[in-house]
Amino acid sequence: MKQARLGRTDLSVSRICLGTMTFGEQNSEEEAHAQLDRAVEAGINFLDTAELYPIPPKAETQGRTEAYIGSWLKARGNRDGLVIATKVIGRSQNRWFRDDESEPRLDARNVREAVEKSLTRLGIETIDLYQIHWPDRPTAGFGANPTRWTTPEPVSDEVAIEETMAVFAELVREGKIRHAGLSNESGWGTMRWIAGAETGKGPRVASIQNAYNLVNRTFETALAEIALREDVGLLAYSPLAQGYLSGKYANGALPAGSRKQLFDRLQRYERPGAQEAIDAYVALAGEFGMKPATFANAFVLAQPFVTATIIGATNLAQLEECLAATEVKWTPEMQEAVDSLHQRFGNPCP
């Protein structure tokens, strides 16, 4: 499998990153280990998780995903060959994350507690890429790339980006993390991190993990140029639009065991105009002789500002369809066809 440099670091990561948020909810520990085994066999060296996981977040399951990865690493003894990424949550009303049940924030105390717990669950000494799952400040919408601006209500006790950067710098010096990354961040927030690094306030961010797929290309509006010029590559999450672009929900289908059937949390991809666009992209994949999941991931991988696409699966068959994207030769004809549909539908699911 092809690899790419992670930002300006010395790390090379597989173009496909295995997302793990189903481990501990939709997937058992045994199933999680089977996915990890197959991913490594296929050439994946890049794993993404979070203290939040599994999804949906619940007090009784929180941290289970990292623990499953940790048990697999211990059993296989292959830590040295992998790039492991995890995340600390931003401001949240869910108080079960912290021992004193206080409101999670991105200050030094919270970040340090989160790091120590992730290291323990994963059973490792150093996290390769430590990402901020979402900002401390209120934003115009989760993912921070709205197509229509809505001014968020400010908070009086916002943790400054520079304050968070300072604790990240300390953690790098202590050897607990190697590199920093962002997630669900805006162009403004990303450039604040870059400017802060240039003035010595903290580590330079190596990547940004935002939603990016055929029905949500808002990353291209403000962040693609930053990604290319500043070497802060996109780690694209939801390349299948939470499963919609696989075609499994076509014509109102509701597969047993799917996230929609279990949790009904896919509203981001159920907005006006979304289904028509999704149907068109699924049909387009068929015109090019591909499974929709393979086509959608191949599109993401073909974009020059993308470092890796983060795939997620609940079974090995789904995993194989996503892995097949690495074998696709993306052509100008494919890009033109996708762009033509985008001109028609825009970004119905920002």
Catalytic residues: 53
**DSSP3 helix / strand / coil % (the chain, rounded to 5):** 40, 15, 45
Name the residue among 126, 308, 350, 133 with its Cα closest to residue 220: 350
Exposure class string for 176-199: b at 16+ Cβ within 10 A, else e: bbbbbbbbbbbbebbbbbbebbee
Q: Are 36 and 8 in contact (CB under 8 A)?
A: no
Q: Are 213 and 186 in contact (CB under 8 A)?
A: no
- Pairing outcome for strands 16-19 and 233-236: unpaired
Question: CA–CA separation, 330 vs 311, rounded Å?
Answer: 18
Q: DSSP string covering 167-185, please? A: HHHHHHHTTSEEEEEEES-
DSSP-derived secondary structure letter, 135: -
**Alpha carbon distances (Å) from 123 to 6, 303, 349:** 23, 35, 37
What angle do helix axes 274-287 and 292-302 make, rounded to 10 degrees? 90
